[in-house]
């Protein structure tokens, strides 16, 4: 696939370039303010390179999950303001996605200017299953520009109008962020330095089953925490109290444990509570002896030591998913301890986006300590599963 540098070498001065960026940042529900601008910052290298080369930059992005119609709570207005601050220039926001106001503002751009379109998911066609419906929106988006750059790695696993269909209509290239993500993931999937350790957390085994199946033959150790660990513990015959349990996945977990031998490492102790709350009273219990009246909400200190020892021997690490309910103070220690162990790896350490990246920032950890923090949790996992990602496949055409 063509790179941004290839596009720049051909010349973009005075040309309108549509950039699909991933600006899906979390907002405070009360104030509407951005609580983590990591994805906006990750988009800057591509946007700044195009500006410096004299392009007229039109940015398309989504925010949240509006239901295919304008919804003020999902407006990209705060994103436009923050993007302007980071770029050091005014970034106007179009009133629509690819309508009259978007066309007027795109036509008014001068060399080096940046325009942000309103949330592409305000149009139902963006996420439509019907090719013709997506195509109509893609036609309108493509008409705004002469060139297309996809820099939204967090969306490349989606066959959406602004990700897939527009690239079929315009000369296209991969942005700096997409290229960086692909470089790191290729290192994980081709010839990783060993020992290669993967840490998986999050709530459900079913969400990670495909990636577990794909990674087991390739890893030296698979460390499992978060809510998904309780289904594995149940598969070993242990009671899990009121902890999250996917009963329909117990047999699958039992099979995976048998196939993996000592390569799957489970928690040895659990932080339990009788309620899911910041003021909950906690206790640490052995992983094989969780009382019936309690639920597990974090891995315990001995587990952090066990996982830390495995990570200390690793040369390549991929981490996706928190070890517990890190959003609440009583249940942060497991995720913090494992995150610190991942950061200390003498080799390549990759944080696989999503809640893992959010945890690094929320817990105040040093982002620079990691080899790479992905912007796309779902896209990263699907790539590691070996699935074809529509947004990448179309860029290779």
- Per the annotation, binding residues for (2R)-3-phosphoglycerate are 39, 121, 158
Residue 116 pairs in a beta bridge with: 59, 93
d(CA 240, CA 288): 8
Backbone phi, then psi, for 92, in 5-degree steps? -70, 155
Q: What is the dihedral sign for C-alpha 232, 233, 235, 241?
A: negative
How far from 380 is each of 23, 242, 320, 348, 353, CA to CA, in Å?
Answer: 17, 31, 9, 16, 8
Long-range contacts of 28-36 (CB under 8 A, 24+ apart): 32/73, 32/78, 33/78, 34/78, 34/79, 34/82, 36/358, 36/361, 36/362
Question: Where do we find the tokens 């590691």?
Answer: 384
Nearest CA-CA partner of 46 in 152, 117, 144, 146: 152
- Per the annotation, binding residues are 22-24, 39, 62-65, 121, 158, 208, 296, 327, 353-356
Return the SS3 of 51.
helix
Q: Which of 204, 254, 302, 361 is catalytic?
A: 204
Question: Where do we find the tokens 């066609």?
Answer: 125
For residue 201, indicate whether it is catalytic: no
For residue 315, indicate whether it is catalytic: no
Q: Do 76 and 82 contact (CB within 8 A), yes or no?
A: no
For residue 39, indicate whether it is catalytic: yes
Q: Which of 337, 354, 376, 391 is catalytic?
A: 354
- Per the annotation, binding residues for substrate are 22-24, 39, 62-65, 121, 158
For residue 202, indicate whether it is catalytic: no
Angle at 142 between CA 98 and CA 91, to 5 degrees: 55
Q: Which of 15, 16, 20, 39 is catalytic?
A: 39
Count CB neighbours of 6 within 10 A: 11
Q: Which of 135, 300, 321, 378 is catalytic?
A: 378
d(CA 238, CA 229): 11
- Per the annotation, binding residues for ATP are 208, 296, 327, 353-356
Residues annotated as catalytic are 39, 204, 354, 378
């Amino acid at each position: 696939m063509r790179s941004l540098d290839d596009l720049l070498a051909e010349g973009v001065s005075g040309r309108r370039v549509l950039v699909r960026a991933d600006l899906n940042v979390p907002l405070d529900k009360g104030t509407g303010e951005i609580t983590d601008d990591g994805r906006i910052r990750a988009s800057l290298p591509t946007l700044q390179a195009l500006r410096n080369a004299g392009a007229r930059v039109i940015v398309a992005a989504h925010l949240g999950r509006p239901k295919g119609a304008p919804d003020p709570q999902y407006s990209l207005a705060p994103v436009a303001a923050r993007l302007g601050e980071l770029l050091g220039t005014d970034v106007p926001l179009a009133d629509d996605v690819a309508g009259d106001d978007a066309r007027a503002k795109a036509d008014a751009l001068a060399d080096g200017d940046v325009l942000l379109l309103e949330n592409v998911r305000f149009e139902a066609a963006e996420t439509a299953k019907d090719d013709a419906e997506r195509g109509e929106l893609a036609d309108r988006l493509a008409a705004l520009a002469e060139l297309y750059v996809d820099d939204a790695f967090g969306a490349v696993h989606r066959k959406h109008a602004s990700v897939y269909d527009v690239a079929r209509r315009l000369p296209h290239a991969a942005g700096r962020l997409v290229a960086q993500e692909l470089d790191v993931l290729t290192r994980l999937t081709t010839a990783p330095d060993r020992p290669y350790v993967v840490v998986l957390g999050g709530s459900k085994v079913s969400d990670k089953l495909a990636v577990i199946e794909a990674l087991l033959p390739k890893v030296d150790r698979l460390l499992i925490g978060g809510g998904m660990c309780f289904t594995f513990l149940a598969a070993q015959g242990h009671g899990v109290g009121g902890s999250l349990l996917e009963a329909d996945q117990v047999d699958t977990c039992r099979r995976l444990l048998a196939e993996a031998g000592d390569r799957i490492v489970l928690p040895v102790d659990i932080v339990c509570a009788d309620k899911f709350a910041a003021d909950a009273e906690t206790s640490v219990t052995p992983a094989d002896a969780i009382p019936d009246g309690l639920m597990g909400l974090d891995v315990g200190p001995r587990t952090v030591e066990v996982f830390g020892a495995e990570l200390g021997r690793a040369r390549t690490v991929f981490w996706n998913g928190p070890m517990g309910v890190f959003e609440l103070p009583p249940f942060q220690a497991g995720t913090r301890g494992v995150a610190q162990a991942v950061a200390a790896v003498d080799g390549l350490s990759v944080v696989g986006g999503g809640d893992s990246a959010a945890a690094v920032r929320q817990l105040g950890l040093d982002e620079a300590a990691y080899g790479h923090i992905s912007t796309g949790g779902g896209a990263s996992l699907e790539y590691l599963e070996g699935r074809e990602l529509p947004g990448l496949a179309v860029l290779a055409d």
